[in-house]
Chain A
Amino acid sequence: MDCQYCHFSAERSVDAGIPPVSTCMGCHLMIPGENQPEEITKVREYWNDREPIPWVRIHKVADHVHFPHMRHINAGMQCQECHGEIQEIGVLEEPEPTWGKGKMGWCVSCHVERDVRRDCTVCHY
């Protein structure tokens, strides 16, 4: 399943976007039956009482860093190149350590590799 099905604005905005409940229900309404895994019933409850899902943020760059998702997606990068094998990781209650990813040196080395702009104001302004 494609990440951008839920993170809908990643290819046209700086923000990847957080899925609204309606997106989840798009599929989960189709799946009938009462004996659903309890995670799914949770989602359904949110939908039924019109409450948004309080997602836990696990990736965060500092507020003084501007990371335009769309530039990277449109450059053909895979989400995993920054977010790791995120699809393999199950439920995360706590923010994960980003294995040195999300650190500036890591951004820079990638920019150096691909020979794209890397002066400070590309990200810091």
Chain B
Amino acid sequence: MASLTESQKRGALTHPDVSHYSEVNRDVLAMLSTPGKGWWALFGIAVLGVGLFFGSWFYQIYRGIGVSGLTSPVGWGAYITTFVFWVGIAHSGTLISAILFLFRAPWRQSVYRAAEAMTVFAVMTAGLFPLIHVGRVWNAYWLIPYPNQRFLWPNFRSPLVWDVFAVTTYFTVSAVFFYLGTIPDVAAARDQATGLRKKLYSFLAMGWQGTDREWHHFGKAYIFLAALATPLVLSVHSVVSWDFAVGIVPGWHATVFAPYFVAGAIFSGVAMVITLAVPLRKVFGLEAYLTTKHFDALAKLVLLTSLIVFYAYLTEFFMAWYSGEPPERQVFWNRLFGHYWWATWIMLVCNGMIPIMLWFKRVRHSIPALFVISIFINIGMWFERYVIIVTSLSHEYEPFAWGVYRPSMVEMGILIGSFCWFGFWFLLFTRLLPPVAIAELKEVLPAPRRGKKAQEVEA
């Protein structure tokens, strides 16, 4: 009996039903084989949605931003809401892959690949929304600092310029991190694949042979990137929150925003991981790799962040009352009982009340329950941003200029389309790259057993 390492022991606990490396290769790479009807159906829907997405966007560019429901005083609406939503989604990926990697949390192995992919695609989606939102998208490049004959530079005091940096940086790092992590598995896939796929994987694998030397560098690089990505989890969403906190709009101008947004981001992100992992597990029969233990851990993370977020809500309301400024107070009164009361209550119930159920182990261990709850949380978090942006703007300092914003069909189309755009990439990912990290999974499995039994298994 070979003695097991610490992590292997824990790994064995999280993956009791996986007993052999070869099973991992077989099961995981099985996903990359020809897709079933279900996949094609989903992919078809996604493609249609992407059509809707760009169709609506080009229509808006052609007719003018007026086709949205945006108006005065509510100059930001569904677009910025969705932007913040997707940036938030992105965060859990990095959290799970980088931070939990540094903390050596063994249960992350089987989910982090999916989570990382989610990060990359979510940022790809989010990054489009500032472009969709501006009135003259053909001039949007002016936000990028570049030397020009006009002697003009962007205004570095503007949070929107910080955003450009934050989002682009985040995309670059998470993309590289994601790609690096896949290399050994791509190599594994390459060794099984044939034809065009083989070419593709050979290219992506960059001639990976799995030598000790390669593994050594790989490990180093991975740690460095993890360390590099970690602060981004905090910084990026703080910057996004400053888009609001820097403004003097009552309901935006609060110091709590940065931590509040980061917590919210992780909250929504982890929820989204659950939403994606459950079907993934079902469709590809990964029950052995994504066990209730994983979901239990994710659920705990959700519960924690939910509490932080709810605390932030209470802080906001308290500070509004404590500030004593009529505009501040009335904005928050208006949130609860004003024109947008329904949005606020959706937010409070979905993000504050429903997650309370996660205190119960039975709920945490029921996959369907988790799935439903995670969906509610996704909805709730979208409305959180909607409430922050729309209710504050609609009820500002100048009572005579108060107004109401109704999202238009075009905005709805782009919102729905963005989910399809995301799904489109994610579905491709499940086909082209191992959604579960083979190599890292093996690290935490018991080493191959010698002897008769083993041979039988291997045969």
Query: SS class of chain B's interface: helix, strand, loop or mixed?
Result: loop
A109 nearest in chain B by CB position: B151
Question: Of the 9-residue stretches A10-18, A28-36, A50-58, A99-107, which lies at the interface with chain B?
Answer: A99-107
Give the docked Cα–Cα distance between A100 and B151 (Å).
Answer: 14
Please indicate the chain A residues that have their CB under 8 angstroms from the CB of B139 in the complex: none
**Is the C-beta of B150 less than 8 angstroms from some C-beta in chain A?**
yes
Q: Tell me the chain B residues, 412-457 only, with Cβ under 8 Å from chain A.
A: none
Please indicate the chain B residues that have their CB under 8 angstroms from the CB of A24 in the complex: none
**Is the C-beta of A108 less than 8 angstroms from some C-beta in chain B?**
yes
Please indicate the chain B residues that have their CB under 8 angstroms from the CB of A100 in the complex: 149
**Is the C-beta of B148 less than 8 angstroms from some C-beta in chain A?**
yes
Q: Tell me the chain A residues, 98-125 only, with Cβ under 8 Å from chain B.
A: 100, 103-106, 108-109
Give the docked Cα–Cα distance between A109 and B152 (Å).
Answer: 12
A106 nearest in chain B by CB position: B149
Q: Tell me the chain B residues, 133-163 only, with Cβ under 8 Å from chain A.
A: 148-151
Query: SS class of chain A's interface: helix, strand, loop or mixed?
Result: helix
Interface size class of B (residues with CB under 8 A): under 10
B148 nearest in chain A by CB position: A105
Please indicate the chain B residues that have their CB under 8 angstroms from the CB of A109 in the complex: 151
Q: Mark A84-108, 1 if CB is under 8 A from B, else 0.
A: 0000000000000000100111101
Please indicate the chain A residues that have their CB under 8 angstroms from the CB of B150 in the complex: 103-105, 108
Give the docked Cα–Cα distance between A109 and B150 (Å).
Answer: 9
Please indicate the chain B residues that have their CB under 8 angstroms from the CB of A105 in the complex: 148-151
Give the docked Cα–Cα distance between A66 and B149 (Å).
Answer: 19
Give the docked Cα–Cα distance between A106 and B150 (Å).
Answer: 8
Give the docked Cα–Cα distance between A62 and B149 (Å).
Answer: 16
A14 to chain B: closest CB distance in Å?
22
Please indicate the chain A residues that have their CB under 8 angstroms from the CB of B149 in the complex: 100, 103-106
A20 to chain B: closest CB distance in Å?
37
Binding site for A on B (CB under 8 A): 148-151
Listed by A's residue number, 13 A-B pairs whose Cβ atoms lie within 8 Å are A100-B149, A103-B149, A103-B150, A104-B149, A104-B150, A105-B148, A105-B149, A105-B150, A105-B151, A106-B149, A108-B150, A108-B151, A109-B151
10 closest cross-chain pairs (CB), A and B: A105-B149, A104-B150, A105-B150, A108-B151, A103-B149, A105-B151, A104-B149, A108-B150, A105-B148, A106-B149
Q: A100-B149, A106-B149 are known contacts; what are 8 more A-B pairs with Cβ within 8 Å?
A: A103-B149, A103-B150, A104-B149, A105-B148, A105-B149, A105-B150, A108-B150, A108-B151
